[in-house]
Structure 1
Amino acid sequence: MANLIEIRDLRVAFDGVPVLHGIDLDIAAGEALGLVGESGCGKSVTWLAALSLLPAKARVEGSVRLEASELAGASRSRLETVRGGRVAMIFQDPASALNPVQRVGKQLCEALRLHRGLRGSAGRAAALELMDMVGIPDARGRFGLFPHEFSGGQCQRLMIAMALAGEPDLLIADEPTTALDATIQAQILDLLARLRREMSMAMVFISHDLGAVAQVCERVCVMYAGRIVEQGPVGQLFEIPRHPYTRGLFDALPRLDGPRIPLTPIPGTVPDPRKMPRGCAFAPRCAHARDFCQSEQPDLLPQRDGRYLACAYPLPEAATAIRSKEEVLQ
């Protein structure tokens, strides 16, 4: 399957402080990719940088190719045709992403005018169709309401509708279920999975919720301190995580089956970008670190089983098999 987007050696620095350290990432047409890791690992920054949405003080280097077209350094007019058109993004907080002083119908119509050239009655009809598609009840009656008159879950559905207005090839969902209760989270995940299939979109699902990633993604990348440390098919990586950080994420995940056992948190925190360790960024928190890890940062390299791994001393398969994708979903 051909790659829709290719990211090569993407690096970001704020005020001279590096926060992304050479991200390489491919997304195939129609693929669902999960991006997981603790807060501060660089998940959202990766895609904000790829779409040139970071503030002017950020220094961005590297290549971002959408099919044959280079987006890094592209003109503003070129980027405006890509954002919302070829690539759409659902931001973390729908309440702040929606304009609080504009009626939701007007906001949807504006997106349809910009990306599909629809105006007047045609734009209104398309906006109502989008509201119906994402499950907003009584779309016609609520077309003229303001964002504060919708619940949190409905605001997220409206953000999804706006993202779909341009019929994108790639949808980036940045923590789309944050602050939603469990029932609404499940509904939003089902909605995203259904829309991706129906519209044949690729999707990047950014989350720290491993269960959500297992539900909607086919491949997963684990990020730590501005680097990808492990990637592979969801089933393979969930059943046999090889990187100690990936294993730590699973050990900290509560289990609903079997006897109650204490969670095992990862000690410490993600390092401050201004005070990065000399060697492997995870070494200060890793129970398996050796002297080599304190001085050398391992590269992300292909493994015999098809995954990619950035670890000098990966966990042996026999010692790390823990649970299946289905168990994570329970």
Structure 2
Amino acid sequence: MGTAAAKLVEMRGLKVAFDSVQVLHGIDLDIAKGEAVGLVGESGCGKSVTWLAALGLLPGKASVMGSVKIDGQELLAAPRSALEQVRGGRVAMIFQDPSSSLNPVLKIGRQITEALLIHRGLRGEAAKTEAWRLMDMVGIPDVRRRFDLYPHEFSGGQCQRLMIAMALAGEPDLLIADEPTTALDATIQAQILDLLTSLRTETGMATVFISHDLGAVSQVCERVCVMYAGRIVEEGMVAELFAEPRHPYTRGLFDAIPGIDGPRQRLIPITGTVPDPRNLPKGCSFSPRCPRAVEACSHELPPLVSIGRGRQLACARPVPPAAIAAETRDRIAEGMMH
């Protein structure tokens, strides 16, 4: 569920439904102050919905239940005025396509200084000076000149850096990065990951990194939660979970990682797709795709339980540690190094 260090986020029993179709089934998650946590899983597993629900950003037809607290402040029952103070202030969120988040008809300087006015009350020269500092902090060169440029005059990687600068304008305690490198090439991806790591070290903010890229998660996160069909199915410290994935779904994700060096190897895909939330299988949602499933798996939903050393697992037939092949370990190591 989380760490024993000072808690910033306490999430309990978070459930989300759209038009009576439940898509999150009770998420429990703690995040410590300054901690970096990864959420991984295929598209449709509920990673982004978890945080959009927490921040009150889902459409009106969504039904949200449970509890989400930031430093003890309940968000789900908070009035809109209180949520607006939290969003962009205590909690900031960046997305995978910065071009859709930046206003194309406003200069970058205007957009950053607006964030500074809203969240810190800075105006005029004070706001401009702070905007320059933030742009420089995220690696934008020649900030005084580029302050007056429009988003289309920046590259995709620079636009993502500018989105991070805007997120930092409110001096957040928590930064949620939702697939922030997906639209970028490999070199720029590595630069953004390095930037997120250095900013966390420099500012002390906690980070949630939402991704399907296990290698990226290994670079920026200390702890990882694996999600499937609206539930957390495995959780642990990155080094331990990556070295010894126990849930068959987690193991399947690693088996699908291509090797960088050595001879070509046939990847082992996870058969099938994430189930439609309107027609979830009975029992374990992964059982129709699971190579280890037995009859009982199609009838009984395994709870998320502790298996020691900060690890949690929801599986009736976990992968034995000795069953993880040497070539899989090599691919995991390569992913963590790259």
Shorter-chain TM range is over 0.9
The correspondence for 1:4, drawn from 8, 28, 36, is 8
SS state of the match for residue 323, structure 1? helix
**Cα deviation, residue 78, structure 1:** 0.6
**Cα deviation, residue 91, structure 1:** 1.6
**Cα deviation, residue 81, structure 1:** 1.0
The correspondence for 1:327, drawn from 308, 316, 334, is 334
The correspondence for 1:49, drawn from 33, 38, 53, is 53
The correspondence for 2:74, drawn from 53, 70, 79, is 70
The correspondence for 1:81, drawn from 74, 85, 88, is 85
Name the CA distance, whole Å, in 2 between partners of 1:304 and 1:211: 24
Structure 1: gaps of 5 or more residues: none
The correspondence for 1:283, drawn from 273, 287, 290, is 287
Name the CA distance, whole Å, in 1 between partners of 2:44 and 2:105: 31
Q: Kindly provide the amino acid, as one letter, of the partner of residue 172 in structure 2.
A: P
1:155-213 CA distance string (max 9 Å, x none): 10010000000111111000000110000000000000000000011000000000000
Q: Kindly provide the amino acid, as one letter, of the partner of residue 205 in structure 2.
A: M
**Cα deviation, residue 306, structure 1:** 2.9
SS state of the match for residue 241, structure 1? coil
The correspondence for 2:192, drawn from 178, 188, 213, is 188
1:160 has 2:167 as partner: no
Structure 1 runs (4+) deviating above 2 angstroms are: 324-327
Task: Assess if the C-alpha contact under 8 Å between 1:20 and 1:227 holds in 2.
Answer: yes
Q: Cα RMSD (Å) of the superposition?
A: 1.0
The correspondence for 2:302, drawn from 298, 302, 318, is 298
Q: Kindly provide the amino acid, as one letter, of the partner of residue 334 in structure 2.
A: E
Residue 236 of structure 1 aligns with which residue?
A: 240
Count of matched residue positions in the alignment of Structure 1 and Structure 2: 330
What TM-score comes out, normalization by structure 2 length? Answer: 0.96
Task: Assess if the C-alpha contact under 8 Å between 1:242 and 1:320 holds in 2.
Answer: no
Name the CA distance, whole Å, in 1 between partners of 2:309 and 2:134: 42
SS state of the match for residue 308, structure 2? coil
Sequence identity, in percent? 71
**Cα deviation, residue 100, structure 1:** 1.2
Residue 318 of structure 1 aligns with which residue?
A: 322
Name the CA distance, whole Å, in 2 between partners of 1:242 and 1:301: 13
1:252-289 CA distance string (max 9 Å, x none): 00011332101111000000111110111100000100
Task: Assess if the C-alpha contact under 8 Å between 1:245 and 1:286 holds in 2.
Answer: yes
What TM-score comes out, normalization by structure 1 length? Answer: 0.98
The correspondence for 1:98, drawn from 86, 102, 106, is 102
The correspondence for 1:211, drawn from 209, 215, 220, is 215
Farther-moved stretch of structure 1 (290-299 vs 241-250): 290-299
Farther-moved stretch of structure 1 (280-289 vs 302-311): 302-311
**Cα deviation, residue 326, structure 1:** 3.8
Q: Kindly provide the amino acid, as one letter, of the partner of residue 198 in structure 2.
A: R
Residue 171 of structure 1 aligns with which residue?
A: 175
Name the CA distance, whole Å, in 1 between partners of 2:334 and 2:181: 20
SS state of the match for residue 317, structure 2? coil
Task: Assess if the C-alpha contact under 8 Å between 2:255 and 2:267 holds in 1.
Answer: yes
Farther-moved stretch of structure 1 (301-310 vs 161-170): 301-310
Name the CA distance, whole Å, in 2 between partners of 1:93 and 1:297: 36
Structure 2: gaps of 5 or more residues: none
Task: Assess if the C-alpha contact under 8 Å between 2:96 and 2:183 holds in 1.
Answer: no
